[in-house]
Amino acid sequence: MAGSAYRAARRNWGQISAMATTLTAIVAVLLTGLSFTETRRQVSVAEQGQITDRYGKAVEQLAKQGPEQLQIRLGGIYALQRLAGDSPRDLPTIVAVLSSFVRSAAPVPPAGMDACPDAAPSTDVQAAVTVLSLFEPSTEVPDLRSTCLQRTRLYPTSTVRGLLAANFEGADLRGSSLDLLDLSEARFEGANLDRAAIRNSTIPWFALSDVHMSGADLFGSDLSTHCPQHTFPKVPMLDLSGVQMRNTILSNCELGSQIFRQTELSFATLRGANLQLADLSGSNLHSADFRGAKLQDADLRGAHLFEADLSGADLTGIKHDAYTQVTKVKTDSSTKGKWW
């Protein structure tokens, strides 16, 4: 009997010992987890502190005045670029800071846009705009309204979207290079784009209200963003005389009464566009795609339509003369108003 009790006591003690060992292990794991969590919290706090310090220093550098401080300002701009990569949640703030810097460093003078310097932007302003173009779109859009950005140069190797919804209202962009940019939500009302190169970019037609574009080059650009079904009001009449628009896309756009006098529109896509009363006199429309376009009462005097596709187009009331070239144009049974 005594031996049996002894063996039972030993078994109980063994179970208690095993439970104690298990509890000890559990407590150790919990303590380790708590320690790890606290360590992570401390690391996060330290990292945020470093980011705050880096941000403060960069903004301080950006605020330095005078030509002798140029390198310091550039350092601040590129420090903000690196910070945006390390801390994406701070990107909207960084976009706002760089936009503010450009507006304060290159504002349109009170006398108006004609008083903007006839020169490229300063090195730091150019750097800030370039950095803004390279960011991914964020909740804060680049606000570059009423700035002197003549001859700004952006040379991306592939389409970039940092200026997707940028506000260029009232900006002087004469002679600028804005190639390969996604500007599909950007605003340009009242801007000056004379002699600007906007090749192979996406830019909304409706945003070009009251824009000067004399001598601009829009080769291969897509202006049809938001054009389908004419969901936006017609843009006020623009004078695009002499503008280079080869290979551009204007499908389904509202282009009635617009002026395309002597404009280069060869190989352009104007499928389904409304060009009623538009002035296309003297324009090069070689191989342009006018399928389903509305061209009623448009002016095609002296226009060159060699191999243009007018299938399904409405040409009723077209103005034409002996210099209107219609050699090898494509038509079909639904083409209306054919005069040759």
Which H or E run contains 104?
helix 91-105
- Phi and psi dihedrals of 314, rounded to 5? -105, 110
For residue 260, the model assigns a pLDDT of: 96
Note the pLDDT of residue 48.
65
**pLDDT bracket for residue 166 (50, 70, 90):** very high
Q: Report the 3 state secondary structure along 208-232.
A: HCCCECCCCECCCCECCCCCHHHCC
Q: What is the pLDDT of residue 26?
A: 75
Cβ-based neighbour number of residue 313 at 10 Å: 31
Q: What pLDDT, on a 0 to 100 scale, did the predictor assign at position 238?
A: 83
**Residue pLDDT, tens place only, 44-74:** 555 666 888 999 999 999 999 999 999 999 9
240 contacts 264 by C-beta, under 8 angstroms: no
Q: Which helix (H) or strand (E) holds 310?
A: none
Instruction: Provide the residue ranges of all domains of the chain, joining segments of one domain with +.
Output: 1-62
Q: List b or e across 233-246, with b for residues whose CB sees 16 or more CB atoms inside 10 angstroms.
A: ebbeebbbbbbbbb
* pTM for this model (two decimals): 0.82
CA distances from 6 to 2, 14, 17, 165 (A): 6, 12, 16, 84
Residue 270 neighbours by CB under 8 Å, 6+ apart? 250, 251, 253, 255, 288, 289, 290, 293
For the chain, what is the total number of helices (H) and then of strands (E)? 4, 2
Q: Which pLDDT belongs to residue 156?
A: 83
Which tens digit of pLDDT belongs to each residue from 174-183?
999 999 999 9
Q: 31 vs 247, which has greater pLDDT?
A: 247
Q: How many residues belong to the chain? A: 340
On average, the pLDDT of the chain sits at 89
| Residue 187 backbone dihedrals phi, psi, to 5 degrees | -120, 135
pLDDT digits (tens, 9 = 90+) for 235-251: 667 889 999 999 999 99
For residue 19, name the pLDDT band (cuts at 50, 70, 90). confident
Q: Which residue has the higher pLDDT, 257 or 7?
A: 257
- Encode pLDDT of 67-98 as tens digits: 999 999 999 999 999 999 999 999 999 999 99
Over residues 114-151, the pLDDT tens digits come to: 999 999 999 999 999 999 999 999 889 999 999 999 99
User: Which phi and psi angles does 172 have, rounded to 5°?
Assistant: -95, 105
The pLDDT score that the predictor gives to residue 33 is 64
Query: Band of the pLDDT at 34, cuts 50, 70, 90?
Result: low
How many Cβ atoms are within 10 Å of 214's Cβ, its own excluded? 15
Is residue 188 within 8 A of residue 165, CB to CB? The reply is no
- Could you give phi then psi for residue 224, rounded to 5 degrees? -90, 5
Q: What is the mean pLDDT of residues 205-231?
A: 85
Q: Is the pLDDT of residue 253 over 60?
A: yes
